[in-house]
Amino acid sequence: MLKVENLHKTFGEREILRGISLCVGDGEIAAIIGPSGTGKTTLLRCVNFLEHAEKGTVTIDDVSVNAEKAGRKQILQLCRLSGMVFQNYNLFRNKTVLENVTEGLLVVKKLPRAEAAEIARAELEKVGLSEFEGSYPSQLSGGQQQRAAIARAIAMGPSILLLDEPTSALDPELSKEVLGTIRKVAEEGISMLIVTHEIDFAKEISHRIIFMENGVIVEQGPPKEIFLNPRQERTRQFIQKLYPADYQI
Ligand SMILES: Nc1ncnc2c1ncn2[C@@H]1O[C@H](COP(=O)(O)OP(=O)(O)OP(=O)(O)O)[C@@H](O)[C@H]1O
Ligand SMILES: [Mg+2]
């Protein structure tokens, strides 16, 4: 379970997150949609403290961290409960696929090498990369790199997976491959918070859509409601722009 309460984040003079509150239940998949520059990436980065919000509380399961009083130890504890998948994969370039996946298990979880390799191989099999375990990221396609990044994140057994536009750097074919992998991972019941521009995918996979604009959540609800019958005019306009031709209520 992820709970974000009243999160505020400022860059310079600009308040990018202006009091964000949301919840993602166990096994729930929530997708964040919204215009560019709205603070979606910043929100995910604040959830796992890659950015430090000025105000607000992030809770994952039984670990709750108040941004104003957060200590290093508490933040580390919280970070271990979430996994992040970035737009540009962020794999270690000088490590093989297998080493990328075992790294966190060895360094953070301090597992014995054989056990780490066993977990990593199981995850690589899940994402269809078993035959590439000895390859370096530069030898893989973008889609394969992103699948390796997903394997790396889920190998740590996070309570929630945060994905920031996982397919936006990929062409449609590779994108499909990665979306298939995410779908498969989702079937295992891991909670996910996905920022995506893939509206059809969001519709299909998510239990809930969160529409964000200018640092606030404008509206959230089940995909059917948000896409077909939004309550807010702004949501309606955003959706309409995505589906100008066949939009109907
Ligand atoms: N490290 C930073 N320093 C200063 N400003 C930043 C920083 N990171 C983000 N911003 C600003 O915060 C705003 C929100 O950025 P963010 O990346 O969260 O938007 P986004 O909703 O993810 O957009 P996109 O859909 O294009 O990815 C932007 O105006 C951006 O310029
Ligand atoms: Mg972004």
| pLDDT-based confidence at residue 244 (cuts at 50, 70, 90) | low
- Give the pTM: 0.94
The answer as to whether 248 is a domain residue is no
Handedness of CA 13, 16, 18, 19 (dihedral sign): negative
- How does pLDDT run across 55-82, given as a tens digit for each residue? 999 999 999 999 999 899 999 999 999 9
**Closest ligand 1 atom number to CA of residue 38:** 21
The answer as to whether 63 is a domain residue is yes
Q: Measured in angstroms, how far is the CA atom of residue 53 from the centroid of ligand 2?
A: 16
pLDDT at residue 189 in the model = 87
CATH code of residue 152: 3.40.50.300
The answer as to whether 87 is a domain residue is yes
Average pLDDT, the chain: 94
- Which ligand sits closest to the CA of 35? 1
Q: Measured in angstroms, how far is the CA atom of residue 35 from the centroid of ligand 2?
A: 9
The answer as to whether 42 is a domain residue is yes
pLDDT at residue 30 in the model = 97
126 Cβ inside 6 Å of ligand 1: no
pLDDT at residue 199 in the model = 87
Closest CA to 29 of 146, 212, 123, 163: 163
pLDDT at residue 198 in the model = 87
- Domain count across the chain: 1
Q: Give 91 or 249, the one with higher predicted confidence.
A: 91
Q: Which residue, judged by its Cα, is nearest atom 1 of ligand 1?
A: 11
Across the range 80-107, mean pLDDT stands at 96
Q: Measured in angstroms, how far is the CA atom of residue 33 from the centroid of ligand 2?
A: 10
The answer as to whether 247 is a domain residue is no
Q: Which two tokens stand for residue 236?
A: 């309606």
Q: Measured in angstroms, how far is the CA atom of residue 35 from the centroid of ligand 1?
A: 11
Relative to beta strand 191-195, strand 29-33 is parallel
The answer as to whether 249 is a domain residue is no
Task: Supply the Cα-derived Rg of the chain in whole angstroms.
Answer: 18
The answer as to whether 238 is a domain residue is yes
| pLDDT-based confidence at residue 246 (cuts at 50, 70, 90) | low
40 Cβ inside 6 Å of ligand 1: yes
Percent of the chain surpassing pLDDT 90: 86
| Residues in contact with 205: Cβ distance below 8 Å, sequence separation at least 6, in sequence order | 29, 31, 182, 183, 186, 194
| pLDDT-based confidence at residue 245 (cuts at 50, 70, 90) | low
Q: Are the C-beta atoms of 91 and 139 separated by less than 8 Å?
A: no
- How does pLDDT run across 134-168, given as a tens digit for each residue? 999 999 999 999 999 999 999 999 999 999 999 99
- How does pLDDT run across 4-53, given as a tens digit for each residue? 999 999 999 999 999 999 999 999 999 999 999 999 999 999 999 999 99
Q: Which residue, judged by its Cα, is nearest atom 18 of ligand 1?
A: 39
Range of the domain at 68: 2-242
Given a cut of 60, whether residue 249 has pLDDT beyond it is no
The answer as to whether 207 is a domain residue is yes
